[in-house]
Chains A and B, each alone.
Chain A
Amino acid sequence: MENRLRELRRARGMTQQQLADAAEISRQTVIAIEAERFNPSVLLAFRLAKALGVTIEDIFIFEG
Chain B
Amino acid sequence: MRIGKMDFAKRLRLRAGCAVACLCIGLGVIIVSVVANGFDPYRHAFLLGLGTGLTGAGAVKLRQTLHVLRDPGKSRATRIEEEDERNRSIEMRSSQITFYIGAIALSIASVITAFYDQKVMHTLSIVLLLLLALKGISLLVLRRLG
Q: Contact residues of A with B, CB < 8 Å?
A: 20, 24-26, 28-29, 32, 38, 40-41, 44
Contacts and interface: CB of A to CB of B under 8 A. Distances in A.
A40 B1 CA distance: 16
A33 B86 CA distance: 9
A19 B89 CA distance: 20
Contacts of B71: none
Shortest Cβ-Cβ A-B pairs, 7 listed: A29-B86, A26-B84, A44-B85, A38-B86, A25-B84, A24-B80, A29-B84
Contacts, number: 26
Interface in B1-33: 1
Q: What DSSP secondary structure best describes chain B's contact surface?
A: helix
Nearest to A44: B85
A40 B85 contact: yes
Contacts of A29: 84-87
Nearest to B82: A26
A32 B86 contact: yes
Nearest to B1: A24
Interface of B: 1, 80-81, 83-87, 89
B1 to A, nearest CB: 6
Contacts of B85: 25, 29, 40-41, 44
Contacts of A32: 86
A64 B118 CA distance: 56
Contacts of A28: 84, 86-87
26 contacts: A20-B80, A24-B1, A24-B80, A24-B83, A25-B80, A25-B84, A25-B85, A25-B86, A26-B80, A26-B81, A26-B84, A26-B86, A26-B87, A28-B84, A28-B86, A28-B87, A29-B84, A29-B85, A29-B86, A29-B87, A32-B86, A38-B86, A38-B89, A40-B85, A41-B85, A44-B85
Contacts of B81: 26
Contacts of B1: 24
